[in-house]
A = this chain, B = another copy of it.
C-alpha cells in the first residue's frame, strides 16, 4: 500500500466496517418500516418528533435544520413534502418577516403517535436491545464526540 499514512489497526478496521454496514442496514430497515406502515420516511419522522417536542409545536426552519443536522435546502424540501401530506403547516414569522415557522398539525401529531411505537420497537429490536447498556452508552459517547468535533470544525455551522 501507498504512503506513510497512519492506517487503522485490524481491530479498528473491523469496527469501522461493522459500523458502516450496520448503519446502512439499520437505517434502511427503520426507514422501510416507517414508510410501509406509516407513510413517513425516517428523516420526516425525526422532524415531526422535534416539532412535537417544541414549545407550542413549532420551530423556525433554521433551528429545525440544525437540530437534525440537515441543510437548509433539504429542510425546505422535506417540509414542503410534509405540508403536502398535511402533517405540517408553514407560517411566516410575525417578528422577522424573512422567517418561517413549521408547525405540526393535529394530523401530523396523530401520524406521529401512530408511528412512534413501530419506530421505537424497531430501534430496540435492531439496535438498543442487542447491546449491553454499557456498550450502547459507549456508542452515545462516541457520536457525541463526533458531533462536537464536526460542529467545532465547521464554525457557526449552517452545514452549508
The segment from A23-31, A55-63, A77-85, A86-94 that touches chain B is A23-31
Which of B3, B8, B124 lies in contact with A128, CB distance below 8 A?
B8
What per-residue 1/0 map shows which CB atoms of A89-133 lie under 8 Å from chain B? Answer: 000000000000000000000000100110011011111101101
Contact status A138-B140, CB under 8 Å: no
- By a CB distance below 8 angstroms, the chain B residues around A130 are 142, 145-146, 149
Contact residue among B21, B116, B134 (Cβ-Cβ distance under 8 Å from A138): B134
Pairwise interchain contact A15-B69, C-beta atoms closer than 8 A: no
Decide yes or no: A136 and B12 within 8 Å by CB, A117-B3, A150-B29 being known contacts.
Answer: yes
Interface footprint category on A: 35 or more
Within 8 A of B (CB), among A49-74: 68-70
Picked from B6, B121, B125, B144, the residue with its CB within 8 Å of the CB of A18 is B144
- Any B CB within 8 A of the CB of A155: no
**Is A156 on the interface with B (CB-CB < 8 A)?**
no
Least distance between A144 CB and chain B CB atoms (Å): 5
